[in-house]
Structure 1
């Protein structure tokens, strides 16, 4: 017996209408509004190019969430081209079609972050509406010159239609929308303003002029999140920095795989000038809250990067970066980390690093710090005992991660006895002590391991509910962890 759900009468009717595309287009004049969405979905996924084009031209809602249909579309490039042809046809009219109310064309696979959508709604005089039919986004009264398309300049009274996108540039442009966008630029066609929540570079992206032209089409003040994944060097960063400076509402900057010394190819004086030129653009970024640095060669350069941030950060991640004592000394006193809520310094400490700076840093952040990660930092018993009083002063601390550090059971128990009554832990991740492993292959000794669990459990307060999750493996690395999770 076939258990498949039989097709609905509505679906059968839509497929029947689409068999004759000319009839489908003629039917749009009298088609009930409730049928527009299912008909458009079937037309887009079924490759009915002309129907998609005309439906965009006559869309009776303010919002068209096209990105949600892109994943399962077999002829995506053609359908995107059809949708943008319909948009171009709409922009060419000084008077809108009677039924058309389109103000936003959303090409994002998902709706993005709620806070970003709320911010976009505040750019108009309206208030945010539901996610199904968001408020239309009007360009602000101080729209930058680069955000205005030629179509808007030609027809200034035409209500704008804004395109919402996320951009991901890779070594080869394989994204259908970016390919289409490149073609539109090369043909000199006009497009409405592009609003973009996230701009991402993956790999060794060639700095083609076409990428710069695409960025020029974006309302750069709408970008909230930038991710740059190398290999990049200072020359590449200086190419991008002027665009970054215009992202005045940027909240998150993430750099990975970047060499700030140009891989030793430049003289020291040249490196200083290139870095100063690059970081000077950071002075325009007054809303940055997250800074993520992973695998960035920061050797004696951290102060040049942080001193140009005009306002304090809330979240700072520096992972697997080559630092020296002078970098960490500056970190402990720089103005931009005075109100940190989250600090992740996993994998940054080498054998020549002294931990004394961390004591002063933790005391400075004791009133605000909620999350601290020091995984794989080479922290030993004596160093963790020295940090224990400072950790106890962090009364807002909710999570602490210390995986991958060779710390004994007695020190872990002492740390928990000292910090649990003083902090507000919801999540603590501790390393499995070295003595739990036996033999040349470092096999986990179960009885010893259970003894550690028992002793740590005794440090937990009995006056409030809690639970213990255990994660362990048979190799001494960051995945060997006792995870203690307090549940309210």
Structure 2
């Protein structure tokens, strides 16, 4: 084994660049293929080779080797996002795929084993200080038993944090006896100024079933050997009290995004929560979809509540992304967004019952020329919204990367009116037009007019109206599109024709698809 490792190290330093990296990774795969041999050899392996061994182990699902690598990690930071990116050793991008549940668990177990080892006073200086788990893929659209969801990661690490805190406290106070259910008092009994710790940078996803354990973990986190530090916080189906309790425990400087959805907070609840968000000085993204906000017919009291909400939004000095999807905001965009001091770069207003005055304001606002992502899905963009939408597209053309206009009742004629503006969006990467009553002819016209967009990579298009087996009811609704049957043979033929046109134009780098769930769309914060 030692002879192999010496040869492996020699390869690392002396092979020609044209073949060195592929050989290094192949050697790394060979090294991690046998756990027992790897375990014996780890102390002889140069620390510079740990990253490539980690990636080879993760891709090969060598969980025991992963655990040993983490336990012996020789650097202050272990970042999954960096280790699993494409690199000079391997072009694979596992960070872009759903991560193996067993591998993520192995990393966590390795950190816990490492902490127990150092806390036990073994002859070894503490090296690892930060485990960075942010950026792991989790679309929450389907359950995959082979992968670990963000919710599961949150629960697993929360339990680990509480458990190791309890062990640490009992070690510091061996004679103390704890009553069952007394975990919430652990923070007070931990030894002050604990120097043995690993900080876990992660995204948190919590709902009503996991809020209790996360709250316990955050309460002990500041003095625990395992310390949770949140970057993006997402909460679903939580009461105002539970949400506030968690927000109060998050670090003010580390939060980048707060996503509160399906919480039924309404304007009164949001007005209670927003003042707590001003402490997050690095907050870039605020998502508040599906929160039962309707401003169309307000009482005098609720008018004051809306004005307060707008005022609180204006205090979020770093905000660049705002999602108010499924709020009924008819005629109120000027009031809501007019107080923002800096331009938004991502704005999601899906199913917001917008009026022409809303889009007119938006086209004339400081936000228009800065927008990189715009989602107006579910708003009727036909007349009378078509003209102000054209003006908005014209203003946003220089910056727009992502445009969602699904379920907007756009027909061939409307699409034709938008094509001159779309053709000017030279940086556009994604266009979503699913569930619009467009014909095959309209799609081909769209394709021909977007071929010149150099950065375009993905278009989610609707089933053409002429591919349905029966006439669609009018006015056409999204449910009509989804419930009506279509001719699969016709649809396949249309798809083949679109692919042929792309091939003829040498634009096979552009994906045209009717599957809105399969393809990863643009996340503003990943830019």
TM-score range, shorter chain: 0.5 to 0.7
Aligned residues: 379
When the two chains are superposed, the root-mean-square deviation of aligned CA atoms in Å is 4.5
State the partner residue of 2:12.
none
The DSSP-based 3-state class of the residue aligned with 2:502 is coil
TM-score of the aligned structures, taking structure 1 as reference length: 0.63
Structure 2 residue runs of 5 or longer lacking an equivalent are: 1-32, 41-70, 76-105, 134-152, 173-186, 472-482, 522-527
| Alpha-carbon distance in 1 for matches of 2:308, 2:421 | 38
CA offset digits 1:38-57 (Å, max 9, x no partner): 9x9589579x9x9896569x
Match of 1:92 in 2: 192
CA distance in 1, matches of 2:126, 2:324: 45
The more displaced of 61-70 and 403-412 is 61-70
Write out per-residue CA displacement over residues 26-77 of structure 1, whole angstroms, 9 at most, x where no aligned residue.
Answer: xxxxxxx959999x9589579x9x9896569x97235164988973998874
Once the two structures are TM-superposed, the CA of residue 239 in structure 1 deviates from its matched residue by: 1.1
Residue 244 of structure 1 corresponds to: 277
Match of 1:406 in 2: 437
2:215 corresponding residue in structure 1: 178
1:348 aligned partner: 379
**Is residue 2:199 matched to residue 1:106?**
yes
Following the alignment from structure 1 to structure 2, what is the Cα–Cα distance between the partners of residues 429 and 9?
Answer: 47
Partner of 2:354: 323
For residues 517 and 72 of structure 2, the distance between their equivalents in structure 1, rounded to whole angstroms, comes to 52
Is the partner of 2:421 in helix, strand or coil? helix
Task: Give, in whole Å, the separation in 1 of the partners of 2:208 and 2:296.
Answer: 20
Distance 1:277-1:43 versus aligned 2 partners, 3 A rule: closer
Residue matched to 1:15 = none
Partner of 1:228: 260
- What residue in structure 2 maps to residue 314 of structure 1? 345
Q: Distance between the aligned counterparts of 2:270 and 2:189, measured in 1?
A: 38
**CA displacement, residues 218-247 of structure 1 (integer Å, 9 cap, x when unaligned):** 331321110111211111111111111121
* Aligned residue in 1 for 2:366: 335
Gap runs ≥5 in structure 1:
12-32, 113-165, 484-488
Q: Is contact 2:207–2:235 with CA below 8 Å preserved after alignment?
A: yes
Tell me if the contact between 1:66 and 1:105 (Cα under 8 Å) persists in the aligned partners: no
Q: Distance in 1 between matches of 2:254 and 2:352?
A: 30
Task: Report if aligned partners of 2:278, 2:316 keep a CA contact under 8 Å in 1.
Answer: yes
Of 184, 190, 197, the match for 2:231: 197
Quote the Cα distance in structure 1 between the aligned partners of 2:199 and 2:305: 38
Say yes or no: does 1:297 pair with 2:328. Answer: yes
Aligned residue for 1:346, secondary structure, equals coil
| Aligned positions of 1:308-457 closer than 5 A | 308-349=339-380, 354-422=385-453, 424-439=455-470, 442-446=484-488, 448-453=490-495, 455-457=497-499
Aligned counterparts of 2:258 and 2:428: Cα–Cα separation in 1 = 28
Please say if residues 314 and 340 of structure 2, whose CA atoms lie closer than 8 Å, have aligned partners that are also in contact.
yes
**Alignment correspondent of 2:293:** 260
Counterpart CA distance in 2 for 1:275 and 1:328 is 19
Q: Quick one: structure 1 residues 447 and 235, their matched pair in 2 at CA, closer, same or farther if it must change by over 3 Å? A: closer
> Does the Cα contact within 8 Å between 1:359 and 1:390 map onto a contact in 2?
yes
**CA distance, structure 2, for counterparts of residue 77 and residue 233 of structure 1:** 33
Q: 342-351 or 457-466, which moves further after superposition? A: 457-466
The verdict on how the C-alpha distance between 1:479 and 1:175 changes in structure 2, with shifts beyond 3 A counting, is: closer
Give the TM-score taking structure 2 as reference length: 0.59
CA offsets 1:265-306 (integer angstroms, 9 cap, x no match):
xx5322221122222222332322222232222233322222
User: Aligned with 1:332: secondary structure?
Assistant: helix
Distance 1:480 1:64 in 2: 33
Change beyond 3 A, Cα 1:278–1:456 = same
- State the shift of 1:347 in Å: 1.5
Instruction: Check whether the contact 1:403–1:480 (CA below 8 A) recurs between aligned residues.
Output: no
Q: Secondary structure at the match of 1:259?
A: coil
The 1:305–1:387 alpha-carbon spacing in structure 2 relative to 1, beyond 3 Å, is: same
The alpha-carbon deviation at position 263 of structure 1 amounts to: 9.5
Report deviation, 1:354.
2.5
Deviation at 1:6, TM superposition (A): 8.3
SS of aligned partner of 1:435: helix
Q: Conserved in 2, the CA contact under 8 Å of 1:301 and 1:327? A: yes
